[in-house]
Amino acid sequence: MQQDELSPRDFTRLSGFIYGQLGIKMPESKKCMLTGRLGKRLRVLELQNFREYCEYLFSDQGMQEELVHLIDAVTTNKTDFFREPGHFDYLVNTALPTMQILNRGRYRKKWRVWSAGCSTGEEPYTLAMVLSEYQEMMQGFSFEILATDVARRVLQVASRAVYPVERITPVSSRYRKKYFLRGKGSRNGEVRVNKQLRHRVSFGHLNFMDEDFGLPNMVDVIFCRNVIIYFDKQTQEKLMHKFYRYLNPGGYLFLGHSESLQGHQTPLIQVAPTVYRRSEQ
Ligand SMILES: C[S@@+](CC[C@H](N)C(=O)[O-])C[C@H]1O[C@@H](n2cnc3c(N)ncnc32)[C@H](O)[C@@H]1O
């Protein structure tokens, strides 16, 4: 066997561990992808083969030092500013006004929006832009955004809020001027989300597999998009029950466009394609 091949035994061990730890399914068809992604870790650690990698990973030291890198390597973090933009329109044109009626025209002190599986931050910062604009129009409206992910590397990128300038192509020129700073000198070609917007978002580490998420408050809106596609039905259903418990009555859940709860046992009610709601009672 070549050094860069993953034996059936090691693949079974790794895929079972990843499923248990993160809920991410790793069928045989993902073996090539896993080999490629973990191959990089082998090189960094100067290990000879995957057998050695597994021995290290599953040791006490590996669980302390390597697990975080394994999670960074096996999670798929693709994201964009204004990804699936219809959701942001739905949020301000339908969801927020509907919740406002539910609260008899008054906005509570602060509306809480959770970007669950936020990756490198483009989704929560998009929410922050859209909600800041809404706040300018609606007197008395105020919000805070919680953004969480299980992968540490993406959370570091998200908190720094520095992106190559090409990343903000989907952002309108008005928002670019209003919410981004352009890098100069050695920072040429980079942009940074401005301080005002950065302060709207708090980032935190959270694994959806944990029994208790330990969130301090209930939330009004959850964006969990392009995350559950990696989970099996049983894991998805468990997560939806947890989301339900954290949503205020009448609160909204947005899933990714290729995700659905069709045929799932869930207390959430579908109100539009990929948009769900907790009942108002
Ligand atoms: C493809 S990104 C989606 C980013 C963003 N929501 C969007 O739609 O553009 C999926 C994110 O889910 C995170 N994720 C995967 N499994 C997770 C788990 N068990 N707990 C928390 N986050 C997880 C990954 O780390 C990754 O950053």
The residues spanned by each domain of the chain are 8-74, 86-277
Does 42 score more than 90 pLDDT?
yes
Residue nearest to atom 3 of ligand 1 (CA): 226
Which tens digits make up the pLDDT trace of 90-119? 999 999 999 987 776 565 678 999 999 999
State the Cα–Cα distance between residues 95 and 76, nearest whole angstrom: 29
Of 266 and 105, which is predicted with more confidence? 266
Would you give the DSSP letter of residue 187? G
Distance 32 CA to ligand 1 centre (A): 21
To test the pocket of ligand 1, the residue of 227, 231, 236 to mutate (highest count of ligand atoms within 8 Å of its CB) is 227
More confident residue, 139 or 38: 38
Q: For residues 200-218, give the mean pLDDT.
A: 96
> Ligand 1 site: residues with CB under 6 angstroms?
22-24, 75-79, 83, 117, 119, 123, 149-151, 154, 206-209, 225-227, 256
Q: What helix, strand, coil percent values describe the chain, rounded to 5?
A: 45, 20, 35
Residue 154 alpha carbon, nearest atom of ligand 1: 27
> Does the pLDDT value for residue 213 go beyond 80?
yes
User: Residue 138 C-alpha to ligand 1 middle, in angstroms?
Assistant: 31
Q: What is the pLDDT of residues 168-192, one digit of tens each?
A: 999 999 999 999 999 999 999 999 9
The pTM (predicted TM-score) of the whole model is 0.96
| Domain boundaries 8-74, CATH class | mainly alpha
Active site residues: 37, 149
How many angstroms separate the CA atoms of 27 and 43, rounded? 24
Indicate if the pLDDT at residue 245 is higher than 50: yes
Strand partners, 166: none
Closest C-alpha residue for ligand 1 atom 10? 227
Averaged confidence pLDDT in the chain: 95
Q: Give the C-alpha separation, 7 to 139, whole Å.
A: 61
| Per-residue pLDDT reduced to its tens digit, 138-163 | 988 999 999 999 999 999 999 999 99
* Helix (H) or strand (E) segment spanning residue 97: helix 96-102
3-state secondary structure of 162: strand
| The pLDDT of residue 80 is above 90 | yes
Q: Does pLDDT of 2 surpass 70?
A: no
Name the CATH superfamily, with its identifier, for domain 86-277.
Answer: Vaccinia Virus protein VP39 (3.40.50.150)
Q: Which residues is 163 bridged to in the sheet?
A: 191
Residue 1 has pLDDT above 50, yes or no: no
Band of residue 4 on the pLDDT scale cut at 50, 70, 90 = low
Asked whether the predicted pLDDT for residue 237 surpasses 50, the reply is yes
